[in-house]
Amino acid sequence: MFELSIPLDATGPMWSTSSTRVRPMHVMTVLPDQWGPEMHGTFGTDDWLFLPLQSGTQWDSLAHVGYDEYFYNGVPMSEVNAGGAARNAVASILPGVVGRGVLLDIPRLMGVDRLDGGQPITPADLEAAEQAQGVRLTTVDVLLLRTGWRAKALQDGWQGWHDVEPGLTLECAEWLHEREVSAVASDNHGIEVLPTTASGPVGHPLHFVVIRDMGMPLGEIFDLEALADDCAEDGQYEVFFSAPPLRLPRAVGSPISPIAVK
């Protein structure tokens, strides 16, 4: 059994305070020494969490990005307003993201510890990894994509981690579509290579194609290190994968605690 999440706390990747995504805040609201003699020696505790829903290991829902006035499935942009996502919310992923997961370990394929920022992963790379590992992604599988970018954060800290990253090229969208993959989860922060290698003015083109056009949720900021080591050891890259989002009926993202069972 492997835990694929990073800690959801003030050590998280949202190191900058310049945006609306800050680190999760945990506060205690009830502590043991508040209780008096009416409790006969017993005591309890309680706590709160305040978090940007995409501030750690998480799903992007289909209400997270869109273009040309629509989200996935023809949902008008006005359906996501201050009241939340009336459609395509993260709870609508439930209970789908439970099933076969296949790890593709690209750094290991390339004989490196981790890829570099800006290093593209192409459909040919994905297929080479499949062949090297002896697996093949197929209908409703979840692709667990290791780039090694999580390891970079462990070594160097989070600062600068969001500026660039290794990841999928735009061409991979078609490949994911052909294989009928149900979701992609990765150890970087946005699945796709940054800066993008695609032409055109859009900074994160794969997001828009995969989420808005193909209806595929993206799992980000996973920790795949321990799982990858184990897979390399036993040559077994298939897992039972489970990462249900919280039942947030109007949210556009959700923290998750994904597990892989071998």
Residue 159 binds a second copy (CB under 8 A): no
Residue 179 binds a second copy (CB under 8 A): no
Could you tell me which stretch among 77-85, 113-121, 146-154, 165-173 binds a second copy (CB under 8 A)?
Answer: 77-85
Residue 214 binds a second copy (CB under 8 A): no
In this chain, which of 101, 117, 167, 245 binds a second copy, going by CB under 8 A?
245
Element (H, E) at 102: strand 98-105
CA distance 150 to 222: 8
**Segment 85 to 104, residues that bind a second copy, using CB under 8 A:** 85, 91, 94-95, 98
The angle at the Cα of 257, spanning 218 to 232, to the nearest 5 degrees, equals: 80
CA distance 60 to 76: 18
Sequence-ordered list of residues with C-beta below 8 angstroms from that of 153, at least 6 positions apart, any chain = 13, 161
**Segment 43 to 62, residues that bind a second copy, using CB under 8 A:** 43-54, 56-57
Tokens matching residue 157: 């800290």
CA dihedral 19, 20, 21, 22 (to 10 degrees): 90
Residue 18 binds a second copy (CB under 8 A): yes
Contact (Cβ atoms closer than 8 angstroms) between residue 237 and residue 103:
yes
- The nearest distance, CB 125 to a second copy, in angstroms, is 26
CA distance 90 to 64: 9
Q: Residue 195, preceding bond cis, omega within 30 degrees? A: yes
Residue 195 binds a second copy (CB under 8 A): no
Residue 139 binds a second copy (CB under 8 A): no
Q: Which is nearer to a second copy, 83 or 235 (CB)?
A: 83
Could you tell me which stretch among 100-108, 135-143, 188-196, 249-257 binds a second copy (CB under 8 A)?
Answer: 249-257
Residue 73 binds a second copy (CB under 8 A): no
Residue 2 binds a second copy (CB under 8 A): yes
Residue 140 binds a second copy (CB under 8 A): no
Residue 32 binds a second copy (CB under 8 A): yes
